[in-house]
């Protein structure tokens, strides 16, 4: 008998397909936010940007690491000293349902610490 039995190969492929389907949603990284939508164009950049996020509960994150508000400025200064000092552009992401007072407080802390290049991140508006 000179036929190839493909049943074991199909079984293995189906198992791998199920594993990848289950694990793919778990591979997304970052702070889950519901960003506001605007018609602004996205910016092109060479290096990975420094992101500051405020979630719906008022928690503050530097990239993907949660930080207390009172530790925010020292940690940002430590990160930006190696990259470009207070001239480093910081991308601020805030959930559209986040408390405006928390967002304003974080922006005030950054401004008071000398960070002048703060950019607000939004999503592209759908249906316009």
Q: What one-character-per-residue DSSP string does 9-78 give?
A: HHHHHHHHHHHHHHHGGGG--S------EE-PPPPP-SSPPEEEEE-TT--EEETTEEE-GGGHHHHHHH
Q: What pLDDT, on the 0 to 100 scale, is given for residue 81?
A: 79
Tell me the CATH number at 117: 3.30.420.270
Whether residue 31 is predicted with pLDDT greater than 90 in this model: the reply is no
pLDDT surpasses 70 at 29: no
Q: Say if residues 51 and 91 touch (Cβ distance below 8 Å).
A: yes
Q: Is residue 95, in this structure, part of any structural domain at all? A: yes
User: Does residue 3 fall inside a structural domain?
Assistant: no
The per-residue pLDDT for 72 is 86
Within a domain: 26: no
Judge whether 4 lies within some domain: no
């Amino acid at each position: 008998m000179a036929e190839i039995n493909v049943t074991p190969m199909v079984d293995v492929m189906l198992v791998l397909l199920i594993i990848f389907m289950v694990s793919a949603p778990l591979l997304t990284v970052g702070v889950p936010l519901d960003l506001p939508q605007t018609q602004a164009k996205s910016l092109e950049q060479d290096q990975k940007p420094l992101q500051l996020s405020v979630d719906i509960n008022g928690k503050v994150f530097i990239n993907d690491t949660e930080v207390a508000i009172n530790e925010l400025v020292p940690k940002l200064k430590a990160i930006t000293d190696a990259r470009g000092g207070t001239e480093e552009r910081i991308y601020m992401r805030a959930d559209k349902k986040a408390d405006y007072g928390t967002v304003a407080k974080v922006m005030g802390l950054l401004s008071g610490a000398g960070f002048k290049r703060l950019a607000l991140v939004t999503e592209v508006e759908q249906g316009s």
